[in-house]
Amino acid sequence: MSIAGRIRVARRSAGMSQRDLGAAIGVSATAISKYEKGEVIPGSEMLIRLSQALGVNIDFFFRQVVADVSEPRYRCRRSLTKKEERIIHGKVTEWLERYLEVEMISGITATLDLPPREACLVSTLDDVEVVARMVRDAWDLGTDPIENVMDVLEQHGIRVGLFDAPDSFDALTFYHDEQTPVIAINTSMAGDRQRYNCAHELGHLLLQVDPSLDEEDAAHRFAGAFLVPDEMVHKELGEQRCAIDLRELSLLKHKYGMSMKAWIRRAQDLGVITGGTAKGLYIRLNRVTVGDEEPGRQVRPEAPTYMHLLILRALNEKKITLSRARELFGGDLPGISMGAE
């Protein structure tokens, strides 16, 4: 991608118009237009001003790695504006380019390890349960709670990133180079929602859904089954219940990292409770839920570690400097001294 193209991408990612950017650096909108068309190449001083106004490192304009991404699938509680979509898409693309550059420098690329498409054909929700169990078995996850869902996905070749975004945005999924799946998760949410969204997007990536079955219902069923296998639901709650206390659901939420609301849905899906009992639980839960926060302490957010570890490895092996490590990570790396290089 040319410098002109990168200026345009960075501007859109920052949610700025050409007029906004021009005003921020003291030039006209026409000048910005000429930069973006490649009619004028900005000098070093102007590039510094552009990088500061756009919130990117100056190395961004000269990056050789280009992410080739497909049309993303957004998961949102309300529709995003075109501007919001451009900002999120720009942030994710810029992060993915840094991710790919880290892999290139380290010489290490995670191998995609997903079940074959024909094994993920589903026409009923019971089929979805089977696929979720197959994936857990193939990935040696057993039936115990998953410690870090994001790390599990990355260990099997799915790229996962966290991003600041509007509260209405949960996640998006797309492919890099038409084959490598990428999942972007909103960083400003509790850990149980992050984990569920990751599992839900994994369902969309894997399941080959028959037209007779609603794809969203299938993805929801997969998310619950992936996070808490059916046998563990029965072990924790029993085969049938006429009543469940919210305190039970709170304990299970923190044990398995799955929200109380998702536990109610899971219990109803498996016939542990009736639809009427589930409705009553939803009403009781909504009464004590503030905004998106369920009662009690929140599940701590997760963070993927694969890219972070590769950067630290490259730094330790003297392949990059500390300043380069910061640029690739997108800021200071947690857990190490920020002293002189």
Mean pLDDT per 10-residue interval, the chain, length 341 residues: 82 87 92 91 90 84 72 70 82 88 90 93 97 97 96 96 85 86 91 96 95 95 98 97 95 97 97 97 94 88 94 94 88 63 45
- Could you tell me the two tokens for 2? 């040319």
Give the pLDDT of residue 341.
45
Is 1-62 assigned to CATH 1.10.10.10? no
pTM: 0.84
Burial of 175: CB neighbours in 10 Å, binned 0-12, 13-18, 19+: middle
- What pLDDT shows up at residue 129? 98
What one-character-per-residue DSSP string does 65-114 give? ----B---EEEESSPPPHHHHHHHHHHHHHHHHHHHHHHHHHT--PPP--
Q: In the prediction, which pLDDT does 58 show?
A: 83
CATH 1.10.260.40 residue ranges of the chain are 1-62
Question: What integer pLDDT is reported at residue 336 of this predicted model?
Answer: 53
Q: Decide if 74 contacts 9 (C-beta within 8 A).
A: no
According to CATH, where is 1.10.10.2910 located in the chain?
Answer: 117-287
Measured CA to CA, the distance from residue 50 to residue 57 in angstroms comes to 10
pLDDT of residue 77: 64
Residue appearing with tokens 């994710």: 92
Instruction: Give me the architecture of the 117-287 domain, per CATH.
Output: Orthogonal Bundle (1.10)
Q: Report the pLDDT value the prediction gives residue 68, as an integer from 0 to 100.
A: 65
Beta bridge partners of 239: none
